[in-house]
Chains A and B, each alone.
Chain A
Amino acid sequence: MDKRKLLMGNEAIARGLQENSCAIATSYPGTPASEILSSLAYFQQSREKSMHIQWAVNEKVAFEIAYAGSIAGLRTAVSMKQVGLNVASDPLMSAAYMGSKGGFIVISADDPGPHSSQTEQDSRLMAMMAMIPVLDPDSPRQAKDMVTLAYDLSEKFEIPVMLRPTTRVCHARQDIQLEDIHDFKRQADFKKNPTRWAATPKFRYHLHKELGKKLSAISAYPATAPVRLNSKTNSRRAIVVSGIAASHTKEVIKDLNLWEAIPIYQVLQPYPLHKQFISHLIETYDEVLVIEETTGVIEMQIADRHRVKGKLTQTVPEAGELLPEIIQEIVCGFVGIKSQPVLHPSASDRRPTLCAGCPHRASFFAIKKVVPKGILTSDIGCYTLGLNLGAVDTVLCMGAAISQAEGFYQAYKDEPKPPDIVATIGDSTFFHAGIPALIDAVVQKVPIVVVILDNRTTAMTGNQPTPATGIGVKGEPLETVDIEMLVRGCGVKFCHEVDPYEMNKLTLLLKQALAYSKNNGPSVLIARHPCLIDELQKNKLKRPIPVEVTNGCDGCGYCIDHFGCPALLLDENQKRIHIDALLCNQCGVCIQVCPKHSIKSRNKSIESKEDL
């Protein structure tokens, strides 16, 4: 029977974890890694002894839970996007020293491009800094196979192993042969050993030396050694590839009929690079071209610099995704054949926007109205798209909205007219990294307004639950944490919840919050309304308010410029706004936006939202 199934890279990784008896898997959502954990939940249905799968409040917590499972002897894994690894870098560095017991895989998904990230950072450099081995899959199929390889490696050397897929592996789909899943049999068995698991600096020194020895042995480990793809070719030049760039290069080389002309090596474990392989390259070839994403990690380990062409020689671009057409040009240049110039699209892409009816748009509209000249710090999530409305001045990293707001206040505090400062941060982001910053703002008595955009979900990454949701990744009921209590617990005395659809109320509260903060330190508004595309909250949505544009509309374009709902379209010829019925989610907020009161509810009986 055909046991092939169409699997996305992230699903393939999840399947690999299942087939290898992973007992605990944790994560915090982030593109391109999010689907790993949700797929695990899907594959787990109907299993007798099920693994523990959970969304953690952030990547650091996720890492530490999975790591403890490993030192108790179980096979575990933690998954995240590359910037999530920054958050988990503290336990990563120490876990490398102490090592693991049960196999422990750190999955960090990189995003060259970047397509949906703040940076193009290469997680393999983090592996190098932590001194742990990293595997670099070239496809969904290889990603699944590498889970097996990673567990074997991790358990043989008692070391955490990083699996580093990139967007084009995570979000590619491929037909993949499934293996059976066996229920895991291992029992937790934590063996106390304070000199290792609670090591003081003196013992850390020994652990560091041990780690060096492990790495040296791993750089000679046969199972992860580079693979020669075409054994019969002879040349003074060779190409070394890894990850998705290996897949692109293989296809390019085949199409250019160079398969028999130039030796190709695929590196499975970019760090530590196998010592024998480095010697082989230097002894055999005059020139070696290295093609990898994103930083030259393999390249920098090949000691004889004048033989190596890659990022450091500007042969391969150092920023951006290595698309196959770019690789084709590089390969052609290396072997000395004419290449076609890289083509680009003749039109630019449409920019993303907040959904029609998105509660964040209503919040941003009110904020812009109350503080038109203020400094508006924001954060990571769908609401970053408040950029389109001019309501987002800064986006740095998770949680920075509040601390940057603090910093702006300190920068301007001696000015005669310091600007009003409003920070916007999503509910999931607030839980993830906003709380310490809010405590700091309270302690420093910083006069800022923090608006927590609470749509009760982690929307951008596919509507994963937050600690306030009360539902786990498998749909199981969990405890909830109340945001208002948390805010008050941080020491904030002015904290109100408001539905951003109620524009007048939100505007009034914003003015009060601003006034309060001037003398008393930070005030917080929780702008709460369910995300419209979250299936879990469909039943919580309010009664729809279908709208119509009346003859009073003169096409002034105010709603387009300041509200920017994609369902509002300006007809230049007719000088009038039209509603795109397909896009409109009938939130009714535009009724409150139009300065000429020319957008009306079609529910004649309903004039005010308050009584809904």
Chain B
Amino acid sequence: MSQAMTHQIVISGVGGQGILFITRLLAEAAILKGMSVFTSETHGMAQRGGTVVSHLKIGNFYSPLIRPLSADGLLALKAENFDQHGYFLRKGAWIVVNSDYDLKPKYDGPLFSVNADHLARKIGNPKAVNLILLGFALGVIPKISEAKRGMFCSVEDIKTVLQNRRPKENMTTSAKEKLDASLKAIEAGYNFF
């Protein structure tokens, strides 16, 4: 990957959905691949059910914030984030959205939606909406032919990051179960398309 290659992704949803967690997984995947990374996160009062947004910038940047009309993609954990954060997107940017209705008529670029809430309940892990949407994004974005830049990492990279978070030896049973559930959620999203 050339040094000039950059990625700017907005990740948003509602406090409690695990936006910070998937932002961190993606940022760690970037480090794993030898790239520089910046994130900017929402902490504090908004985390109590308010709108939460993360900025993720991969490559050489000075500022942790993405400017309007600059983002390469939007990962929206709620359909409403499309109206709240769509203004960050450059022309032709991708949108991956958790929605139970079709948002395609509202956007003329590549848009992929999945009812991640439903899928999460189906796999018996209703709080894993964030990981399912991330898995889904990693599955569909490489399929966009017209996009100049896809995703900077693969589903395998994210799995490696998840597995590296805790040392394999002396892992407790509950930590192991949690990891397996996370991997399963990523897979479910990835294989959905």
A positions within 8 Å CB-CB of B = 2, 4-6, 8, 31-32, 34, 115-116, 138-139, 168, 171-175, 244, 247-248, 250-251, 254, 323-325, 328, 340, 342-355, 382, 384-385, 460-462, 566, 581-582
Whether A324 contacts B38 by the Cβ 8 Å rule is: no
Residue contact B68 to A325, C-beta cutoff 8 Å: yes
B40-48, B147-155, B167-175 - the one binding chain A? B40-48
User: Does any Cβ of A come within 8 Å of B141's Cβ?
Assistant: no
Given contacts A345-B85, A350-B49, contact A4 B31 (CB under 8 A): yes
Is B163 part of the binding interface, using a Cβ–Cβ cutoff of 8 Å? no
Chain B contacts of A8 at CB under 8 A?
41
One of B15, B43, B83 near A31 (C-beta < 8 A): B43
Binary contact readout B105-127 vs A (1 if CB under 8 angstroms, 0 otherwise): 00000000000010001000011
Residue from the list A32, A347, A354 in contact with B43, Cβ < 8 A: A32
Is B84 among interface residues, defined by CB-CB distance under 8 A? yes
Contact check, B44 vs A347: say whether CB atoms are below 8 A apart.
Answer: no
- Other-chain contact of A247, B30, B63, B67 (Cβ < 8 Å): B63
Report yes or no: B27 in contact with A173, Cβ–Cβ below 8 A: yes
- Whether A352 lies near B47 (C-beta < 8 A) is yes
Once bound together, how far apart are the Cα atoms of A271 and B117, in whole Å? 51
Q: Decide if A349 touches B31 in the complex (CB within 8 Å).
A: no
Nearest Cβ on chain B to A341's Cβ, whole angstroms: 10
| 14 additional contacts (CB under 8 A) given A31-B43, A115-B46, A244-B64 | A168-B40, A171-B42, A173-B23, A173-B27, A173-B37, A251-B62, A324-B67, A345-B84, A350-B14, A352-B48, A354-B48, A355-B48, A461-B44, A582-B127
Q: Are A566 and B84 in contact (CB-based, < 8 A)?
A: no
**Docked-complex contact A346 and B87, CB < 8 angstroms:** yes
Closest 9 pairs between A and B when the two form their complex, measured CB to CB: A116-B44, A352-B50, A347-B83, A31-B44, A349-B51, A172-B64, A343-B68, A250-B62, A352-B48
Assembly CA distance A462 to B15 (angstroms): 13
**B144 part of interface (Cβ distance < 8 Å):** no
Give min CB distance, A205 to chain B, whole Å.
43
Residues of B within 8 A of A138 (CB): 62
Chain B: residues with Cβ within 8 Å of the partner, total of: 44
Is the Cβ of A168 less than 8 Å from the Cβ of B65? yes
> Which B residues between 53 and 93 are near A, CB-CB below 8 angstroms?
61-65, 67-69, 80, 83-87
Q: B24 an interface residue at 8 Å Cβ cutoff?
A: yes
Query: What 1/0 mask marks residues of chain B from 12 to 40 whose CB sits below 8 Å from any chain A CB?
Result: 00111000000110011011001011111
Q: Assess the B31–A343 pair: CB atoms within 8 A.
A: no
Q: Nearest CB to that of B36 among chain A residues?
A: A175
Shortest CB–CB separation between residue B114 and chain A, in angstroms? 17
Contact of A172 with B83 in the complex, beta carbons under 8 Å: no
B48 touches A382 (CB 8 A): yes
- Distance of A254 Cα from B77 Cα, bound (Å): 32
Contact A353 B44 (CB under 8 A): no
A353 adjacent to B49 (CB under 8 Å): yes
The one of B44, B49, B83 in contact with A346, judged by C-beta atoms closer than 8 angstroms, is: B83
**A-B contacts, 30 listed (Cβ < 8 Å):** A2-B34, A31-B45, A115-B45, A116-B43, A116-B44, A116-B46, A171-B40, A171-B41, A171-B42, A172-B40, A173-B24, A173-B64, A174-B38, A174-B39, A244-B64, A248-B65, A323-B65, A324-B65, A324-B67, A342-B68, A346-B87, A349-B51, A350-B14, A350-B49, A350-B80, A353-B48, A384-B45, A460-B48, A566-B49, A582-B117
Instruction: Give chain B residues whose Cβ lies under 8 Å from the Cβ of A348.
Output: 84
Residues of A within 8 A of B28 (CB): 6
Q: Which residues of B contact A328 (CB under 8 A)?
A: 67
Q: Which of B37, B43, B87 contacts A175 (CB 8 A)?
A: B37
Q: Which of A4, A5, A343 contacts B69 (CB 8 A)?
A: A343
**Nearest-CB residue, chain A, relative to B121:** A582
**Residue on B with the closest CB to A4?**
B31
| Most chain A beta-carbon contacts within 10 A, residue among B14, B30, B41 | B41
Which chain B residue shows the least CB distance to A459? B48
**Contact indicator A352/B64 (Cβ below 8 Å):** no
Q: Which A residue sits closest to B16, measured CB to CB? A: A355
Q: Which of A138, A250, A352 has the most CB of B within 10 A?
A: A352
With CB as the reference atom, state the residue of chain B lying closest to A326: B67
